[in-house]
């Protein structure tokens, strides 16, 4: 099964029932392109216009899932309502003869940013800036319509070659949040984590209900970091470990990984990656104004020129498109008491160093001066892991988390630290922030839990033997009702509907 969010390659699977049919009285399905976690993608031809299009069909098993269907419809509605050249164009919505919902989109030739980075590694600075600026403009247009993407990642950034330049198309609004009355609270409600962990803003990772456009600003900062360094700021063995780092760990300055990166570019990246959203750029337009223009940097010839001024309907304020000298200096963001980083949480023991992170205490992490000196010992760069440590407070009430396992010798981990085997009791400060628990045993499929220590709770975890189908009756049973649900983005919610250039 493809990794979450990966682009779909042209599919050589056997002919299926839709190929050759005409759906909606106007789209002749010509071939199957591929499939994602929840959908199948076809190439089709408009029978009157002769125009090739992409048709995304929701799989039958997901068509019966109310939330999946609503997200599918939302993808069509959100993308169609924005009306920006950098947003994929959705032109129609309907159902197949079998009743399966589909959306019709423009068919693009090119590749997504994730594939490009996998092939080339870090991009020239000018090329990265050109892509980032187009993304900022796309987000500005979406935000002006009250739409927050919430799943911005390199897999959802599609690059079309237009006259030797990168033209960006932003994809997949399936989990976007629309600020409007009557929104279903169960689709985007409190405590449900939606998004991709590697690109997730801290407040999104904590399941906060009042997400705003600054989650997209953070994710764009992650993408820009990835474009200039070749990797995302935070890596981990599990999704829970990555989410923990987004909340608690400061990113390694990109110039530590790429010493030739201009300071003004690093400054903008770190500003976008502030953990306190009040300390970040307040909008995509503000980030766009801070981004240097590509001119004067290597790779600038790949940058698509942006039109001047703000998009229609965007907020007033700092809306410069950043034109001018390509190597201008970007002022460092001011830091205030209200902008001090606050980690709302709990004591987490995570990682091989066993750092303990406390919460409910303000702190102001010290930014290193740029450029930082990188010492090399026997040709190996030594980089100190920048984990935020703040003193714990004895006033925090502690709760008991009781884990009983089957088999009885299963090991229970909090983060990466072994807590015991079989029947384990963990004490943790009372908090609304989930903590990661992993249960594993030889010969059994491991399970990961995300438990919220709001009060004493207990769980029975029954592992399934490898190779044996999981019995729903043996699934973990919640005794206390305080567990926060998690629902990270399904494996490529609908799949990338576009074919890759050969």
Rounded Cα distance, 31 and 499, in Å: 12
- In 3D space, the residue among 419, 473, 474 whose CA is nearest the CA of residue 451 turns out to be 419
Task: Considering the candidates 151, 166, 276, 492, report the single residue annotated as catalytic.
Answer: 151
Report the b/e string of 378-405 with b at 16+ CB within 10 A: eeeeeeeeeebebeeeeebeebebebbb
Which bin fits 452, alpha (ψ -120 to 50), beta or left (φ > 0)? beta
Beta strands in 375-497 (DSSP E): 376-377, 380-381, 398-406, 411-414, 417-421, 423-429, 435-440, 447-451, 457-462, 477-478
Does residue 163 carry a catalytic annotation? no
Report residue 53 CA to chain centroid gap. Answer: 27
- According to DSSP, residue 187 is labeled T
- Which value, to the nearest 10 degrees, does the dihedral of the CA atoms of residues 213, 218, 223, 225 take? 150
Beta carbons of 432 and 454 less than 8 angstroms apart: yes
Paired tokens of 473? 């009756």
Could you tell me which residues come within 8 angstroms of residue 260 by beta carbon, excluding any fewer than 6 positions away?
A: none
Rounded Cα distance, 328 and 208, in Å: 36
- According to DSSP, residue 314 is labeled P
Rounded Cα distance, 229 and 216, in Å: 20
Pairing between β-strand 457-462 and β-strand 398-406 as defined by DSSP bridges = parallel
Beta carbons of 408 and 465 less than 8 angstroms apart: no
Beta carbons of 488 and 207 less than 8 angstroms apart: no
- In 3D space, the residue among 166, 300, 143 whose CA is nearest the CA of residue 217 turns out to be 143
Work out whether the CA dihedral 220, 222, 223, 228 comes out positive or negative.
positive
The CA-atom distances, in angstroms, between 418 and each of 163, 235, 415, 425 are 56, 21, 8, 12
**Which residues, listed in sequence order, are joined to residue 412 by a DSSP beta bridge?**
420, 439
- According to DSSP, residue 279 is labeled G
**Which stretch of DSSP H or E encloses residue 110?**
strand 109-112
Rounded Cα distance, 407 and 425, in Å: 17
Q: Which sequence positions are flagged as catalytic? A: 151
């Amino acid at each position: 099964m493809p990794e979450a969010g990966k682009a779909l390659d042209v599919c050589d699977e056997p002919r299926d029932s839709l190929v050759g049919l005409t759906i909606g009285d106007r789209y002749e399905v010509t071939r199957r392109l591929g499939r994602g976690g929840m959908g199948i993608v076809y190439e089709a031809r408009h029978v009157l216009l002769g125009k090739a299009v992409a048709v995304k069909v929701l799989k039958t098993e997901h068509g019966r899932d109310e939330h999946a269907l609503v997200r599918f419809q939302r993808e069509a509605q959100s993308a169609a309502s924005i009306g920006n050249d950098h947003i994929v164009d959705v032109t129609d919505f309907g159902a197949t003869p079998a009743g399966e919902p589909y959306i019709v989109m423009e068919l693009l030739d090119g590749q997504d940013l994730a594939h490009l980075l996998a092939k080339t590694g870090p991009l020239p600075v000018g090329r990265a800036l050109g892509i980032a600026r187009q993304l900022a403009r796309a987000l500005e247009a979406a935000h002006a319509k009250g739409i927050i993407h919430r799943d911005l990642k390199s897999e959802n950034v599609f690059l079309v070659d237009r006259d030797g330049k990168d033209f960006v198309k932003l994809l997949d609004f399936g989990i976007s949040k629309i600020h409007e009355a009557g929104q279903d609270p169960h689709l985007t409600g409190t405590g449900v984590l939606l998004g991709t962990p590697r690109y997730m803003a801290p407040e999104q990772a904590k399941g906060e209900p009042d997400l705003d456009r600054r989650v997209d600003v953070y994710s764009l900062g992650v993408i820009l970091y990835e474009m200039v360094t070749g990797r995302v700021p935070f890596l981990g063995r599990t999704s829970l470990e990555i989410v923990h780092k987004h909340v608690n760990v400061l990113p390694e300055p990109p110039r530590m990984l790429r010493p030739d990166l201009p300071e003004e570019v690093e400054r903008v990246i770190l500003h976008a990656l502030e953990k306190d959203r009040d300390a970040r750029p307040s909008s995509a337009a503000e980030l766009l104004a801070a981004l240097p223009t590509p001119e004067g940097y290597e790779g600038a010839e790949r940058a698509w020129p942006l039109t001047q001024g703000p998009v229609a309907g965007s907020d007033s304020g700092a809306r410069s498109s950043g034109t001018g000298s390509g190597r201008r200096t970007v002022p460092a963001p001011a830091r205030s008491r209200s902008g001090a980083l606050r980690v709302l949480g709990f004591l987490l023991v995570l990682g091989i160093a066993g750092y303990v992170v406390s919460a409910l205490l303000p702190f102001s992490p010290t930014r290193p001066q740029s450029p930082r000196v990188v010492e090399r010992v026997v040709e190996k760069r030594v980089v100190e892991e920048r984990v935020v440590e703040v003193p714990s407070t004895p006033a925090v009430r502690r709760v008991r988390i009781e884990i009983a396992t089957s088999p009885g010798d299963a090991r229970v981990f909090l983060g990466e630290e072994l807590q015991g085997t079989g029947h384990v009791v963990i004490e943790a400060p009372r908090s609304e922030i989930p903590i990661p628990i992993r249960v594993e045993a030889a010969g059994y499929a491991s399970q990961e839990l995300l438990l919220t220590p709001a009060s004493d709770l207990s769980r029975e975890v029954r592992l399934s033997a490898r190779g044996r189908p999981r019995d729903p009756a043996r699934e973990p049973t919640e005794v206390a009702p305080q567990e926060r649900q998690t629902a990270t983005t399904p494996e490529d919610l609908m799949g990338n509907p576009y074919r890759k250039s050969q």
